[in-house]
Chains A and B, each alone.
Chain A
């Protein structure tokens, strides 16, 4: 009894609340990245290894635009547009010739793209990490912490972007094209939908979402050339745990994994807390290989 009581006393409730907020904020950014990744996978059957690099590139574009104009929101929009164009160009040049080939070829190709982009960033911007100032500097009090409002804004904005995208998929003309292509590529083509351009568009949208999350994330820590790999790994875990190609599942999994990681960070070193998400992945693979958040087994 005494031990149990001691255990409950040792749980720091204020810390848990703080880490819940942290986990949700991180989870929303991750959800934004992962939904681009799962969209590209679900529609094009392409595992985009370069997704983390698009995220990183978006953050750098944000750094450049914010430094020259001083306006964060302009940087956010401009960076998403620029990276969308870069993404479309990458898709046309490297992935379009691979349509119809073994999907493993596309993994290798996107892996090559990620290498080139990452090393280009290192070469162009150097190894020193850059920073964007927070656009909203006010704080609110959370127990003993002065918690920045900006982090809450990140979570809300990410949710808004994902929600807007979901509405676009559901009701927009091109959104319906995308869903039609995902359902039956040949039939969509027969109905006059330009399938190769839908692919290009999907890749561009995914790239823009990655870039937007990059810019949103940039003020909280620095921007450097290697930030992509950590996030793409987490996004891969989220996409597998949530069920490949399943948008809602990825979002749920992103928040779930991020919450677990931030709770784990109460008792562990944050660099070891990553292991928690690895464990979630292993357990998922063991018991629900199609994904935790898939309602009907496929």
Chain B
């Protein structure tokens, strides 16, 4: 977004004499180590909670590629997430014994199909129109999934069993909450590294230049429409991956997750955490889920947690459009 001008101040870390990349990778390793060690210390509930935060974080991170780097707000990420979920469900129900990698493959194929459809139509439009059409397209998928009861189970969704964590010829065991967490952590970390590489590549630079000034990017001679389509597709693939992980973690696929609310949450994670940082959306997802859990514990399950969180969201858009991690945006993207 053009209004969120990055701060010019460098972080105080820069004065320590270590190079930027050393500090970045040390910090990266520390965070990964903490996240990897966490399930060994946390009780069962919080272990699952942390895993889910990572999955939501992956979904939010995928949408950050659009919001933060290409400058297009997607209100339709629930479609990619949901198609990933149902794709994984299809693989786990149709093939026996259920295979984890096949589930991922099917989920990604489902999300890619949805993303191709959305990308083809909605990238013809800019800004507001893009946001609205992504929302409407995600509702198309919702209506289809909700009403096509024979195939998708309609309102009840699909229930399946979790596949084994298997690496062919090397390892094969049932998922425990701990190995599930490690598996999710590995997928999310790999996705982060890929997305970071993408945003720093020449391709990512073109996306950022579309965000800053689309007509000029076109005038320079870049095929803007094609770049936008690829970025929607890429974003959709990672959102689908998040859907697969969620399906494997919870052993079901439900139409609620294709509904608009999931897309809305994704946008909230991004804005709260800080768009254009890739890590920020994960932090935002953590903040949101934690706040939701704490509010539910303080005031009971029926408490409308979205009222205070919605107010925080509005206040942040007005006064802190860079989000919680916005101050580190420049540093993280170097």
Contact = CB atoms under 8 A, between A and B. Distances in A.
Given A115-B310, A240-B129, 8 more contacts: A101-B3, A104-B73, A104-B128, A115-B313, A116-B314, A233-B136, A244-B129, A271-B147
Interface of B: 1-3, 71, 73, 75, 121-122, 124-125, 127-129, 131-133, 135-137, 139-140, 143-144, 146-147, 260, 264, 267, 271, 304, 306-307, 309-311, 313-314, 317-318, 321
Contacts of B125: 285, 289
B146 A120 contact: no
Interface of A: 41, 47, 94, 97-98, 101-105, 107-109, 111-113, 115-116, 118-120, 122-123, 229, 233, 236-237, 240, 244, 269, 271-272, 274-275, 278, 281-282, 285-286, 289
A272 B3 CA distance: 41
Give chain B's interface secondary structure class. helix
B307 A103 contact: no
A178 to B, nearest CB: 20
- Nearest first, the 3 A-B pairs at minimum CB distance are A116-B310, A115-B310, A112-B314
B137 to A, nearest CB: 8
A236 B136 contact: yes
A285 to B, nearest CB: 5
Given A103-B128, A104-B131, A289-B125, A274 B307 contact: no
A237 B318 CA distance: 28
B202 to A, nearest CB: 25
Contact of A123 (B131, B304, B314): B304
B132 A240 contact: yes
A102 B3 contact: yes
Contact of B136 (A107, A113, A281): A281
B132 A113 contact: no
Contacts of A94: 314, 318
Given A119-B306, A285-B121, A108 B271 contact: yes
A25 B198 CA distance: 51
Contacts, number: 106
A47 B264 CA distance: 15
Given A105-B317, A112-B314, A116-B314, A236 B135 contact: yes
B143 A274 contact: yes
A107 B124 contact: no
B139 to A, nearest CB: 6
A109 B310 contact: no
B131 A47 contact: yes
A229 B142 CA distance: 13
Given A119-B304, A269-B147, A282-B121, A102 B2 contact: yes
24 contacts: A41-B128, A94-B314, A101-B321, A103-B127, A104-B1, A104-B73, A104-B128, A104-B131, A105-B321, A107-B73, A108-B73, A108-B313, A112-B314, A112-B317, A116-B314, A233-B136, A236-B136, A240-B133, A269-B147, A271-B146, A275-B140, A281-B133, A285-B122, A285-B125
Contacts of A240: 129, 132-133
Contact of A120 (B121, B264, B307): B307
A72 B144 CA distance: 38
A285 B124 contact: yes
Given A233-B135, A271-B146, A285-B133, A112 B2 contact: no
A247 to B, nearest CB: 18
A162 B71 CA distance: 36
